[in-house]
Amino acid sequence: MTLTGKMLIGRQAIAGTGEAIRAIDPSTDQALEPTYLGGDHSHVEQACTLAWSAFDSYRETSLEQRAGFLETIAEQIEALGDALIDRATAETGLPRARIQGERGRTCHQLRTFARVVRAGEWLDVRVDPAQPQRQPLPRADLRQRQIAVGPVAVFGASNFPLAFSVAGGDTASALAAGCPVLVKAHSAHPGTSELVGRAVIRAVQQHNLPEGVFSLLFGSGREMGIALVEDPRIKAVGFTGSRSGGIALTKAAQARNEPIPVYAEMSSINPVFLFGAALHARGEALAQGFVASLTQGAGQFCTNPGLLIARQGEALDRFTVAATRQLKDSPAQTMLTPGIHQAYAAGVAALANNPRARLLGQGLAGNGANQGQAHLFSARAEDFLADAALQAEVFGATSLIVQCADDAEVHQVAEHLEGQLTATLHLDEGDLPAARALLPALERKAGRILVNGWPTGVEVCDAMVHGGPFPATSDARATSVGTAAILRFLRPVCYQDFPDSLLPEALVHANPLHLRRLVDGQREA
C-alpha cells in the first residue's frame, strides 16, 4: 500500500498547501517518506461542510447499520496487515508486539461499540404516556430519547497511534453515537493515520454512508486544531494530549458564539499509596511490580505511576532499596518523538535540580536516539506539599516517592493532589481501616481506584472510567475509554404528543427495537 501524503476529505484525497510534516523514526532520527502538507482553513471548511450535510442522515441510520459500519472499520484495519504494523512501529519506536496488541485493542474497541449500538441502552428511552383524565390538568404523552450532538472533532494522541488515534476510542464512540467525525491526525504518525483513515473510508463506502461521515486532516501547530474547534458545525471535541493543548482547545470552544463541550484527557501523575502491612509483608514484590509498571512503554502512558506515597520507616526503606536496584537494570527505551524525549529530559533535569527532591537511582542509559532513561526520586511530604513543581507530570519513566511522617500526612498529601485518572492502594488485611479512611478523598480525586494492582493497563469494558477531575480531564462526568464514552456525544430530546408516524423508531408505541424502556417510572423487563 503506497502512502500518498494526502488528507482524506470525504471521498477525496487532497494534498495540503501548508507546512511540511514528516514522520521521524525516533530510534534513528531518520525522516520517513512521504511528506504530508498541512491543510488550511479551506480544508476545514470543506470537511465541515461535508460532515454537516452527512449529519442528519447518519445520525438516523439504523442500529444494525451503524454497528455493521463499526465492525467493517475493524475488518478494514485488520486487512491492512503488516503494512500497518510496520509503519506504526517505524513512526513511534514502539515494539512490534505492542503495536500488534494495540491493533487488537483498537479493533476490539470498535466491535465493543458495535455491541453497544445494537443493545440501544444509550438511547435511554423514557415514556410517560398521556393521562387525559388526570386532575387538575391532563398529562401529555412524553417520550425521550438521546440523539447525536453533531459532528465531532477528534485529536489523535501521540502515545497510542491506533487505540487513541484516527479510529481510536473517541472516533469509535462518536461514530457509535451517530456523529460524523473529523480527525486531526497527530503529526508524529501521519503514515499510520493515513492507512487507518483509508480503512475507515473504505468502510464508509462499503456501507453506502454519506462521505462526510469521516475526514482526516493534517496540520502541525495549533492553527488547524483551533480552526476546527471554532467551526460552528463542530458540536463536540475529543482530545488526548498535553494539559496546555487541552486547555487551549477548551478555551477556544468556550469562546465560540455557541460554546461546545470539550473532552480533553490531559494530565495525571497517578498516585500509588503503599500501606504499612502490605509494604512490610511484600516490599520486594511491590518494588518489582512498580518498576515494571513505571517503565512499561518507556513510561509513556497516561496512567503511569508517577507518585508513590507511604509512611517513612524501615519497610519503605527496604522497598526503596529494592525498587532502586530493580530500576538500575532496566534498559532505556526509545521514546515516541524527539520532542517528547526532550521534554522528558527537561522534566528529569528539573527534578534533579530541585533541592526538595533527591535522586534515588536510575535505569540504564541508552545507545542511540531518543532513549528514555528511567529515574526515581524521593521527597519529604512537607516538601511535596510546599512545592507545586513536584506535582507536575513528567511524561516518561520517572516517579517520585513521597515520604510521610504519619497517616495524617498521608491524608494531607492525598487532599493536596489535583484531579487524577487513577489512584492505587496497596494493602493487606491489616491496612483496611487506613484504606477505608483514605477512600473518600480518593473518590473525590480520581476516576479509577485500584487495589493491589498497577494503573497502567486500561481495560476496554463497560465499567472502565478513564477520566477524572481537572486537570486529569476537562470534564469529570465523562470517560474516554470503555462503553460509557458514547454518552459524551449525546443529548436528550423530548417528543410531546407526537403521532406514531412522526416518531423516531426508538420511540414508537410498538417498541420495534425491543428496548427496555422506562415507562411511567417502571423499567420494562
Active site residues: 265, 302
Between 364 and 498, CB nearer to a second copy? 498
Work out how close the CB of 476 gets to a second copy at its nearest, in angstroms, rounded to a whole number.
5
Using CB under 8 A as the binding rule, the residues of this chain from 430 to 459 that contact a second copy are 432, 435-436, 439-440, 443-444, 446-453, 457, 459
- From candidates 475, 480, 486, 506, binder to a second copy by CB under 8 A: 475
For residue 497, give every residue at least 6 positions away whose Cβ sits within 8 Å of its Cβ, in sequence order, or none. Answer: 130, 140, 141
**Residue 491 interacts with a second copy (CB under 8 A)?**
yes
Among 343, 495, 508, 511, binds a second copy (CB under 8 A): 495
Contact residue for a second copy among 132, 355, 512, 521 (CB under 8 A): 521
- Residue written as cell 473529523? 182
**CA distances in angstroms from 230 to 45, 227, 369, 452, 473, listed in the order given:** 11, 5, 38, 44, 20
Restricting to residues 104-123, name those near a second copy by CB under 8 A. 115, 119, 121
Residue 510 binds a second copy, judged by CB under 8 A: no
Tell me which stretch binds a second copy (CB under 8 A): 1-9, 76-84, 275-283, 470-478: 470-478
Task: Find residue 378's DSSP bridge partners.
Answer: 358, 401
Per rule CB under 8 A, is residue 509 in the interface with a second copy?
no
By beta-carbon proximity to a second copy, the closer residue of 56 and 314 is 56
The cell numbers describing 297, all together, are: 512503554
Of residues 33, 329, 497, 500, which one binds a second copy by CB under 8 A? 497
Helical pair 276-295 and 314-328, crossing angle rounded to 10 deg: 20
Select from 86-94, 159-167, 176-184, 486-494 the region that touches a second copy (CB under 8 A): 486-494
* Binding of residue 130 to a second copy (CB under 8 A): no
Q: What angle do CA 136, 139, 143 make, to 5 degrees?
A: 165
Nearest to a second copy of 358, 444 (CB atom) = 444
When asked if residue 494 is in the footprint of a second copy (CB under 8 A), the reply is yes
> To which residue does cell 423508531 refer?
505
The C-alpha angle 7, 93, 422, rounded to 5 degrees, equals 90
- Nearest-approach distance from CB 104 to a second copy, in angstroms: 9
- Residue-by-residue DSSP string for 203-226: HHHHTT--GGGEEEE--SSSHHHH
C-alpha to C-alpha distance for 266 and 257, rounded to whole angstroms: 25
> Which x/- pattern, by CB under 8 A, does the window 54-93 give for a second copy?
--x---x---------------------------------
Cα angle at 156 between 168 and 22, to 5 degrees?
125
C-alpha distances in angstroms, 17 versus 36, 311, 348? 9, 58, 38
**Cβ at position 149, least distance to a second copy in Å:** 7
Tell me how far, at minimum, the Cβ of 127 lies from a second copy, in Å: 6
Strand 375-380 relative to strand 398-404, pairing: parallel
Is 232 a binding residue for a second copy by CB under 8 A? The answer is no
Contact letters for a second copy, residues 393-432 (x by CB under 8 A): -------------------------xx------------x
Q: Does 476 bind a second copy (CB under 8 A)?
A: yes
Chain centroid to CA 362: how far?
29
Interface residue with a second copy, options 79, 140, 386, 389 (CB under 8 A): 140
Q: What is the DSSP letter of 490?
A: E
Query: Is residue 390 at the binding interface for a second copy, with CB under 8 A as the rule?
Result: no
Q: Which is nearer to a second copy, 63 or 449 (CB)?
A: 449
DSSP 455: S
Evaluate whether 204 touches 517 at the Cβ level (below 8 Å): no
* Contact indicator for 84, 77 with CB cutoff of 8 Å: yes
> Per CB under 8 A, which of residues 251..270 are in contact with a second copy?
254, 258-259, 261
Span from 132-140, 166-174, 280-288, 385-393 in contact with a second copy (CB under 8 A): 132-140
What is the x/- site pattern for a second copy, positions 147-176, by CB under 8 A?
x-xx--------------------------
Nearest to a second copy of 360, 450 (CB atom): 450
Tell whether residue 359 is a contact of a second copy (CB under 8 A). Answer: no
On the CB side of 484, how many CA atoms lie within 13 Å of its CA? 12
Contacts of a second copy in 14-53 (CB under 8 A): none
Residue 250, interface with a second copy (CB under 8 A)? yes
Residue 134 C-alpha cell reads as 388526570
Closest CA to 332 of 361, 375, 293, 302: 375
Does residue 96 belong to the site contacting a second copy (CB under 8 A)? no
Q: Note whether 301 and 277 are within 8 A (CB).
A: no
Cell of 7: 488528507
293 contact partners, CB below 8 Å, separation of at least 6? 304, 305, 454, 455, 456
Give yes or no for residue 305 binding a second copy (CB under 8 A).
Answer: no
User: Any contact of residue 516 with a second copy (CB under 8 A)?
Assistant: yes
Output the nine-digit C-alpha cell for 41.
482553513
